[in-house]
A = this chain, B = another copy of it.
């Protein structure tokens, strides 16, 4: 059981308390309107201590989203090796997101991110940090060298950058549907190519 030790547990509790307080304040007052001092005060630690747990305000806001991305990448690596790349990517993303969608926290986090340009940008920035990881996974699955063939990087950037962004924009434009469904549609379109002449999609 690797006895966690009192110290470890206390740290973990502080960390989660900071996340909780931050998200509550963010949802109530908005992301930019919330200050680090408020978050720290709500947990009764100094603002300096906040920065020992999170490197920035974005960090605490996106920590949960980060875990989700990790889960998706793990699920992706676990898909059968003979499954086409985008299919594996879609399956992994849909699995993880679908299991999150029942949690209220998931939705408030999505709204928070879409409502704040700073958070939207930060999410992409964090995605970028995983590019190499994902590109290597994709390259291995396709059996190509990412330094020679652009497709692994293209797939990685589409998955980590284009799809989330497109979904944000599409929902902002008024379309309502479960996120997992939007993800599914986006990947399906990508695997068949985007350049088809107009033939009404998906729903009919």
Contacts and interface: CB of A to CB of B under 8 A. Distances in A.
Given A84-B197, A191-B193, A150 B170 contact: yes
A117 B84 CA distance: 31
A60 interface: no
A151 B201 contact: yes
Contacts of A156: 166, 169
Residue among A125, A129, A144, A155 with the highest chain B CB neighbour number at 10 A: A125
Interface residues of A, number: 56
A148 B120 contact: no
Mostly, the A contact residues are helix
Given A121-B121, A125-B120, A198 B144 contact: yes
A84 B199 CA distance: 13
B84 A195 contact: yes
Given A153-B170, A192-B193, 11 more contacts: A86-B195, A120-B124, A124-B124, A124-B165, A132-B169, A142-B198, A150-B201, A151-B189, A161-B165, A190-B194, A191-B194
Interface of A: 84-87, 117-118, 120-122, 124-125, 128-129, 131-132, 135, 142-144, 146-151, 153-158, 161-163, 165-166, 169-170, 173-175, 182, 185-186, 189-195, 197-198, 200-202
